[in-house]
Amino acid sequence: MSPSYSDASLELAAGQPLLEQTLDWAAINSGTANLAGLGTVAGMLADAFAALPGEIDLLEADPVESVLPDGATRTAERGRNLHLTVRPDAPVQMLLTGHMDTVFGQDHPFQTIRTLDNGYINGPGVADMKGGIAIILAALKGLESSPLARRVGYEVVINSDEETGSHGSASLIARAAKGKAAALTYEPAATPEGLLAGARPGSGNFSIVITGRSAHAGRNPEDGRNAVLAAADLALRLSKVKGPRLSVNPAKIEGGGPNNVVPDHAVLRVNMRPATPEDQARAQSHLDSAITMVAAEHSVHIHCHGGFARPPKPLDPPAERLFALVRDCGARLGQTIAWAPSGGVCDGNNIAACGVPVVDTMGVRGGAIHSGEEFLIVESLAERARLSTLVLLELAERGRP
């Protein structure tokens, strides 16, 4: 790669209006359930990404089923997802992903952007991940300014429901990941210093509906089948399998009624996080057997909704090579890049499950995400834009990690 080409591309990327775009996009509430706000942000993003060549679309989300406290199911709406395809016949194919939704709904008190005394920006979604989206666009503009761009094709997916598990966009991500040499996802760095998230566990969310039989708690309790008791028994059985390679969190039991009625209904909400695919299989087996045993012992009917929407993401050799490439690019730019395992999950889990190496914390440096203290370190916008551009140029030249 000619240094003159790379230097010019890097500076073009860093010179983009990164902060202005971040603030403009973060000023619009785009909580996952705020379809109007998501629609506004999606339109703004489509206009911004139209500066790149290729075909851009706003695609409808897949139907998403949710379980209500009474055990009934409903279809929850999700916002449209941005999808950009550029040079699909180029020899090197890449995927870049981000999300436009935040955890802050319309009624959340955290809605204002402000500059802190240290120059950091505090605001909803500035780090997670409106700043990351700005970096994607800047890096791709830097790539497009290089003669190497003709060697690279890419897809960009900016989804609208990452914060709730990407249920409405998982199929789009899987299609976009197919055949890619590598992927970059723009979650914020794991620490304010810029640490990348390496291996990640998987995550499964389950809503387990228990149907028993009501009876008078004083006159004939023996005729009842206590759904709340069965739910509690199931929660305890599931918790027994937790350990260093599998976390189990029975988060909520909903159901019951008056004290003098044996409850005939309950919903148990559970999250399970396995470290590896083998741990996921073990967790699923334990869940299935525990449901069977509780149903038999309590004479109740149990139906389990949900699954492992985020598969585990271990670091295999192709992923390790991609991380090493990012580290080496960082070193050329004077940036120290390191990584460590993370307990969180993201779309990087889904991409890795497709057999594509991915680094999923290529976004800004900041911190306190998912809280009213969320902050963005402004200088990291240009810093990370240079890093991504150089990684893309290296992949264009090498063909794969």
E-assigned strands of 8-60? 55-59
Percent of the chain with pLDDT over 90: 98
Q: Cα 332 to the chain's mean position, in Å?
A: 29
Please provide the CATH number assigned to the domain covering 203-310. Answer: 3.30.70.360
Mean pLDDT of the chain: 97
Give tens-digit pLDDT for 343-381.
999 999 999 999 999 999 999 999 999 999 999 999 999
Q: pLDDT digits over 136-155, tens only?
A: 999 999 999 999 999 999 99
Q: Exposed e or buried b for every residue in 324-350, given b needs 16+ CB within 10 A?
A: ebbbebbeeeebebebeebebbbbbbb
Q: Compute the CA torsion angle 361, 366, 369, 371 (nearest 10 deg).
A: 180
**pLDDT at residue 2 is higher than 90:** no
Alpha helices in 212-259 (DSSP H): 227-239
User: Nearest to residue 160, comparing CAs of 344, 353, 25, 11?
Assistant: 25
Whether 171 shows a pLDDT value over 90: the answer reads yes
Q: Could you read off the pLDDT of 181-222 as tens digits, one per residue?
A: 999 999 999 999 999 999 999 999 999 999 999 999 999 999
Report which residue type is found at 60.
E
Residue pair 41/178 in contact (Cβ under 8 Å)? The answer is no
Nearest to 203 by CA among 246, 235, 236, 241: 246
What's the pTM value of the predicted model, to 2 decimals?
0.95
Of 145, 161, 175, 188, nearest to 85 by C-alpha is 175
Q: Is 244 exposed, middle or buried (0-12, 13-18, 19+ CB in 10 A)?
A: exposed
Architecture of domain 3-200+314-398: 3-Layer(aba) Sandwich (3.40)
d(CA 326, CA 339): 10
* Phi (first) and psi of residue 73, to 5 degrees: -110, 150
pLDDT digits (tens, 9 = 90+) for 13-60: 999 999 999 999 999 999 999 999 999 999 999 999 999 999 999 999
Every domain of the chain with CATH number 3.30.70.360 lies at 203-310
Q: How many helices (H) and strands (E) does the chain have?
A: 10, 18
Terminal-residue alpha carbon distance, the chain: 15
Q: Which of 307, 247, 238 is nearest to 275 (CA)?
A: 247
From CA 253, how far away is CA 269, in angstroms rounded?
6
Write down the pLDDT at residue 5. 63
Closest to 119 (Cα-Cα) out of 366, 333, 317, 354: 366
pLDDT of res. 6: 81
Rounded alpha-carbon distances, angstroms, from residue 52 to 13, 40, 56, 142, 143: 13, 20, 9, 11, 10
390 pLDDT more than 90 = yes
Residue 90: Cβ-neighbour burial (10 angstroms; 0-12, 13-18, 19+): middle
Q: How many degrees, rounded to 5, is the angle at CA 354 between CA 78 and CA 364?
A: 65
For residue 1, what pLDDT is reported?
Answer: 57
**Taking 90 as the threshold, does the pLDDT of residue 3 lie above it?**
no
**Phi (first) and psi of residue 34, to 5 degrees:** -90, 85
Beta bridge partners of 302: 210
Residue with tokens 């591309």: 9
Tens-digit pLDDT profile for residues 249-303: 999 999 999 999 999 999 999 999 999 999 999 999 999 999 999 999 999 999 9
293 conformational bin, left if phi > 0, alpha if psi -120 to 50, beta if neither: alpha
Q: CB–CB of 358/99 below 8 Å?
A: no
Give the other-Cβ count within 10 Å of 62's Cβ.
Answer: 15
- Top-confidence residue, 3 or 49: 49
Cis peptide bond upstream of 293, omega within 30 = no
> What is residue 73's three-state secondary structure?
strand
